Amino acid sequence: MATTGIVNGTNLRFYVGGVAVGHATSCSLQVSRTMRTILTKDNAGSYEQVAPGQLKATGNGQGLFSYDTANYGVDDLFTAINAGTLLLVRFTTDENGDKYWEGSAYLTNVGFDAAVEENSGYSFDMEFNGAISQGTES
């Protein structure tokens, strides 16, 4: 059943090849569009005119470092960035009827942190290769 009301951030996460990224604590997906400047001698005054240009999508996430997750783990992240693997990535709640955003992406950064007497963590950044599609979970 589709989620109603405000979506709890806990429920939205990245899936790689259909497997959730393990022990995630936060994640984000950004889609941006560059604007191209239209400048001619016919422009009135000094105001710039613009038109839509190319789209670009990026994503990132953070989580707690664990070797024993059944999900997509830190070892998988390292293997993917090390090999330059193109990943099928979906940003979703994984609930029937909810929207998802999906595309192919390369990892551009994978990091690990470990402070004294704190939880160890990981982070990753990705850049999508081509278009992102939107669909409905079924």
pLDDT of residue 2: 87
Where is 60: in which H helix or E strand? Answer: strand 49-64
Fold adopted by 9-136? Pnp Oxidase; Chain A (2.30.110)
Where is 83: in which H helix or E strand? Answer: helix 74-83
Mean pLDDT of the residues in the chain: 94
pLDDT of residue 132: 97
pLDDT of residue 71: 95
The per-residue pLDDT for range 1-32, each reduced to its tens digit, is: 788 999 999 999 999 999 999 999 999 999 99
pLDDT of residue 41: 79
The per-residue pLDDT for range 63-78, each reduced to its tens digit, is: 999 998 899 999 999 9
Q: Where are the domains of the chain?
A: 9-136
CB 55 within 8 Å of CB 103: no
Instruction: Give residues with Cβ within 8 angstroms of 41, minimum separation 6.
Output: none
Q: Phi-psi bin for 84: left (phi > 0), alpha (psi -120 to 50), beta?
A: left
Q: Phi-psi bin for 120: left (phi > 0), alpha (psi -120 to 50), beta?
A: beta
**What is the token pair recorded at 85?**
């693997």
Q: Which of 40-44, 109-113, 123-127 has the lowest mean pLDDT?
A: 40-44
The per-residue pLDDT for range 85-124, each reduced to its tens digit, is: 999 999 999 999 999 999 999 999 999 999 999 999 999 9
pLDDT of residue 43: 72
pLDDT of residue 19: 96
CB 105 within 8 Å of CB 89: yes
